[in-house]
């Protein structure tokens, strides 16, 4: 996604937006640099989400807003397959309540935590349905094994959601004035 955005930036020459690939724990932007910080489904790869949230807080201007979506964990007893999936992907998952608290602990106010898991489940079902409908075209370029692996991934994620193991969370928060 970032490469698409960077390609568009080169074509459109819009200098109002900057993209940067960096480690949010180690990289240091100047304090009070941004009006908005948006992170889409990336922070769960970071073991130190508390440090990341403190950095986001520091980097925002007073009154600035953070919008974050992140994979989370539910309250169901973790199934073995889910635990292996999380370990394999090096996810560091939090519950919605934990993410709200980490965000508040970083100094944010007006913290709104929303569980978007139903929408994630719907998206996964839509993707799976679309893939099944286009299987023939897919197999013109890829193997049956690859197709079945993708299908298994969608089915597993739907099962993880149904078992209340995996969630999709949204956090919106404001840095005080």
Q: What angle do CA 88, 91, 92 make, to 5 degrees?
A: 140
Confidence of residue 4 (pLDDT cuts 50, 70, 90): confident
> Residue 124: its pLDDT value, please?
97
What span, in angstroms and rounded, lies between the C-alpha atoms of 63 and 80? Answer: 43
What span, in angstroms and rounded, lies between the C-alpha atoms of 23 and 79? Answer: 30
Query: Which among 75, 70, 74, 73 has a CA at the least distance from the CA of 49?
Result: 70
Q: Give per-residue pLDDT as tens, 23-67.
A: 777 888 899 999 999 999 989 999 999 999 999 999 999 999 999
Residue 120 pLDDT > 70, yes or no?
yes
Q: What is the pTM of this model?
A: 0.85
- Which residues are within 8 A (CB) of 58 and not within 5 positions of it... i.e. 6 or more apart? 31
Domain covering 2-174, topology: Rossmann fold (3.40.50)
Q: Are 127 and 100 in contact (CB under 8 A)?
A: no
What span, in angstroms and rounded, lies between the C-alpha atoms of 124 and 159? Answer: 11
Query: Which among 44, 58, 168 has a CA at the least distance from the CA of 115?
Result: 168
The radius of gyration of the chain from alpha carbons, rounded to an integer in Å, stands at 19
Q: Give per-residue pLDDT as tens, 74-112.
A: 999 999 999 999 999 999 999 999 999 999 999 999 999
């Amino acid at each position: 996604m970032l490469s698409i955005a960077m390609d568009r930036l080169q074509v459109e020459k819009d200098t109002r937006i900057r993209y940067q690939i960096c480690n949010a724990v180690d990289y240091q932007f100047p304090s009070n640099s941004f009006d908005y910080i948006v992170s889409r489904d990336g922070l769960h790869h970071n073991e130190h989400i508390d440090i990341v949230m403190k950095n986001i807080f520091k980097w925002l201007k007073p009154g600035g807003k953070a919008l974050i979506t992140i994979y989370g964990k539910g309250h169901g007893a973790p199934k073995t397959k889910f635990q292996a999936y999380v370990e394999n992907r090096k996810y560091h998952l939090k519950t919605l309540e934990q993410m709200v608290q980490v965000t508040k602990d970083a100094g944010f106010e007006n913290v709104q935590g929303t569980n978007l898991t139903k929408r994630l489940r719907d998206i996964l079902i839509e993707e799976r349905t679309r893939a099944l409908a286009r299987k023939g075209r897919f197999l013109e370029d890829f193997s049956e094994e690859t197709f079945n692996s993708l299908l298994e991934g969608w089915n597993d994620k739907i099962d993880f959601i149904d078992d209340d193991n995996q969630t999709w969370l949204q956090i919106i928060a404001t840095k005080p004035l």
